[in-house]
Amino acid sequence: MDIDRIIEKAGGADEIAALAGVGLEAVRKWRQSRMVPTKHWPALLRVPGIALQDLTADLTTTETQQEQERETDVSNPCPPGANAALVLADGTVLWGRGFGAHTEGAVGELCFSTGMTGYQETLTDPSFAGQIVTFTFPHIGNVGTNADDNEAPKMAALGAVVKEDITAPASWRSHEPFAAWLRDHGRAGISGIDTRAITRTLRDNGPQTAILAFPENGRIDTDSLLNRARQWPGLEGMDLAKEVTRPKRIWTEGVWHSTKPVRENRRRVVAMDYGAKDNILRCLVTAGCDVTVLPATATAEEILELKPEGVFLSNGPGDPAATGTYAVPAIRKVLDANVPVFGICLGHQLLAQALGGKTYKLERGHRGANQPVKDVETGRVEITSQNHGFAVDEKSLPADVKVTHVSLFDGSNEGIASTTKDAFSVQYHPEASPGPSDSFYLFERFVAVMDRRAKAGA
């Protein structure tokens, strides 16, 4: 077993530090060096499940053998202390320390997220499918993981890039250390990376393809990795909604600890799952909806068969133009049936296409929290959470579609509404609550539209 598994076997960093009679700083250095000093072995051997061969084989012989291989293998220039690499398509090679599941190379679009909290929600957000996430906040993994903070059953992002080594969980809510959680999801992370340098590169040069390698044998061929990164086609033209969508289901769970009263007259809503975050569905329930979730490929006939009072279009990954080949025709038929529509993120982009607009790839995507958005009609500024690399082209919108929200970062579109149909959408994530509840009114607006039509007998 490796050093992380030994620490886990001992019961965590606090327990192993107490066993060895050292401080947590020493344990942190053990993680960096990937070994425990021999003078502490007798204490560890008292732990059930840790044997001498675990300490000698994996932490000495194997690493010595790998080091010898590196010295004689010019295609594996892995420096001492490193066992993983992040290779960018522009030729940049960043060495670091891998954690989580081993991988010969996960290739995707490298992006960064500015959120100071919520790394588990970020990595399980289906909108991050096809992407490797760099966290600008340096201390990631320090509160561990739990069963409640996932936005989907599986981790969607391809990998995590962080600055500091992962420390032991420091939260009463933690069920499992971050590295172990990544292993469970079959994903890798890399630490010891200059995340500020990556952020500047992406800010100045736009999206970059990258590949994250954390091979089990420790041998890293950077030339091969670079070739693989350069061959990846990119997210443009890629439909990922089909990969992250889930089967039809009834959703009944509301927002945790909500103080809002439970509505008696609830509205039947079909939520189209292009990669829906669970908390969006919770918000719909709390706002007063009975929610049936349908997969991304559901037809208009399947949607309308449920006699919805409203249809919700969810967030999701990939190129909206690619997903739109099958989603837009269904949305248009829903609009023609005079059913109210509300969309978020990818759902916003798909609604724009259904109303006659177009989308394009942003030079720099919007990912993270604390992003200001202005409501054009009221002048109110909302602090929002965002995760998108594509946007609606305002110039392509027809005359009967108005702009409702704009980004105060770059002026890109953040919301639209039809002037002839009950249909509106926003680019940002109102359910993520960075404000913390600046934008919940959008769910209430959707329900109010359905209430008004029910009262009018529409």
Q: What are phi and psi of 269, to 5 degrees?
A: -125, 135
241 Ramachandran zone, left/alpha/beta (phi>0; psi -120 to 50): alpha
Burial zone of 179 (CB within 10 Å; 0-12 exposed, 13-18 middle, 19+ buried): buried
Name the burial class of residue 451, with classes exposed (0-12), middle (13-18) and buried (19+) by CB atoms within 10 angstroms of its CB: middle
Residue 109 CA to residue 119 CA, distance in Å, equals 18
Catalytic, 431? Answer yes
User: Which of 212, 418, 242, 426 has its CA nearest to residue 332?
Assistant: 418
In the DSSP assignment, the letter for residue 407 is E
Which residues contact residue 218 at a Cβ distance below 8 angstroms, ignoring those fewer than 6 apart?
Answer: 63, 66, 69, 70, 78, 83
Catalytic residue among 345, 366, 388, 414: 345
Q: Is 64 helix (H, G, I), strand (E, B) or coil?
A: helix
Residue 328: which of 272, 370, 285 has the closest Cα? 272
C-alpha dihedral sign at 195, 141, 4, 150: negative
| Enclosing H/E stretch for 201 | helix 195-205
- CA proximity to 145, closest of 174, 115, 185: 174
- Name the DSSP letter for residue 167: P
Query: Residues 348, 388, 405, 429: which is the catalytic one?
Result: 429
Alpha helices in 206-305 (DSSP H): 222-231, 241-244, 278-287, 300-304
Residue with tokens 């736009």: 206
Q: Would residue 102 show up in a list of annotated catalytic residues for this protein?
A: no
Q: Return the active site residues.
A: 345, 429, 431
